[in-house]
């Protein structure tokens, strides 16, 4: 184990890495990505710009780490909300989506980076972001699957929904299901996509301020749309 006794240098490196990321995160939230300057970050932590390159290969590399942290923080918030919710998988699913909204509204800049328009010039490294970026989605699919296995997914409702959708759509989902979640039922996948696109679509509009002129406060609408989507999916509380 090299972890046994971390050398002084390793400890300082770790500390400085998190300190740099913290400073960058603050500047990011305050001024946005475009105004995130390495020189400003260096000034904040009290070192020369060039010294930053001992910790991050480039500005893009720093951004990538911030993305990983944001994905992780968001996933942990949602997971905590799920864990704190009593009841079956459906109430937990509801809590997960409500917490997903809460975190996103509290971190609009990060949300924009994670789910907003692709950063031009910045090529997201899949190997670094694949896992943390799919944690929330995996949790949601898992909850719907759990609901399905617990008999909380009304197969009549879900089946009717599936029959009403075009075959091309369901086929695509089935291909993805076989590759990624072969143990899940197709109906559960169809229903999860319905639910996820509706709620995240609405949330994205809200976070980006598209609804503000018409709807200053989206809270009631979001909750209603969530319950609506759950019911339309055939997911019953219990």
Partner DNA sequence: TTCTTGTCGAGAACAGTGTTCGCATAACCC
Partner DNA sequence: GGGTTATGCGAACACTGTTCTCGACAAGAA
Contact residues: a second copy, CB under 8 A: 31-35, 108-109, 111-113, 115-121, 164-166, 168-169, 172-173, 176, 193, 197-198, 200-205, 207-211, 213-217, 219-221, 223-225, 228
Question: Which of DNA, a second copy, none binds 179 (CB below 5-8 Å, type-dependent)?
Answer: none
Is 39 a binder of DNA (CB under 7 A)? yes
Instruction: Provide the 3-class DSSP secondary structure of residue 128.
Output: helix
* Residue labelled with tokens 């909204």: 101
CB of 124: closest distance to DNA in angstroms? 15
Quick one: 62 or 144, whose CB is closer to DNA? Answer: 62
User: How many positions of this chain bind DNA (CB under 7 A)?
Assistant: 24
Contact pick of 3, 9, 117, 167 for DNA (by CB under 7 A): 9
> Can you say how many angstroms the Cα of residue 45 is from the centroid of all Cα atoms in its chain?
29
Judged by DSSP in three states, 120 sits in coil
DSSP conformation letters of 3-71: TSS--HHHHHHHHHHHHHHHHHHHHHHHH-STT--HHHHHHHHTS-HHHHTTT-SSHHHHHHHHHHHHH
Radius of gyration of the chain (CA): 21
Contact between 93 and DNA by CB under 7 A: the answer reads no
**Where on the chain is the footprint of DNA (CB under 7 A)?**
7-10, 12-13, 16, 36-40, 46-51, 53-55, 58-60
């Amino acid at each position: 184990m090299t972890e046994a006794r971390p050398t002084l240098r390793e400890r300082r490196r770790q500390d400085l890495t998190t300190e740099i990321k913290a400073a960058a995160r603050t500047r990011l939230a305050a001024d946005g990505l475009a105004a995130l300057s390495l020189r400003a970050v260096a000034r904040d932590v009290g070192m020369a710009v060039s010294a930053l390159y001992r910790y991050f290969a480039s500005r893009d590399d720093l951004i990538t780490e911030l993305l990983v942290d944001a994905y992780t923080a968001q996933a942990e918030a949602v997971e905590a909300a799920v864990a704190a919710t009593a009841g079956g998988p459906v109430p937990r699913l509801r809590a997960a989506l409500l917490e997903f909204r809460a975190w996103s509204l509290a971190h609009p800049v990060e949300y924009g980076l994670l789910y907003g328009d692709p950063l031009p010039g910045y090529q997201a490294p899949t190997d670094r972001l694949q896992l943390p970026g799919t944690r929330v989605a995996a949790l949601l699919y898992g909850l719907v699957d759990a609901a399905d296995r617990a008999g909380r997914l009304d197969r009549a409702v879900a089946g009717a929904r599936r029959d009403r959708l075009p075959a091309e759509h369901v086929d695509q989902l089935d291909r993805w299901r076989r590759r990624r979640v072969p143990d899940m039922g197709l109906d559960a996948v169809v229903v999860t996509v319905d639910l996820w696109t509706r709620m995240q679509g609405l949330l994205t509009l809200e976070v980006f301020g598209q609804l503000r002129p018409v709807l200053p406060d989206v809270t009631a609408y979001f909750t209603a749309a969530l319950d609506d989507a759950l019911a339309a999916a055939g997911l019953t509380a219990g």
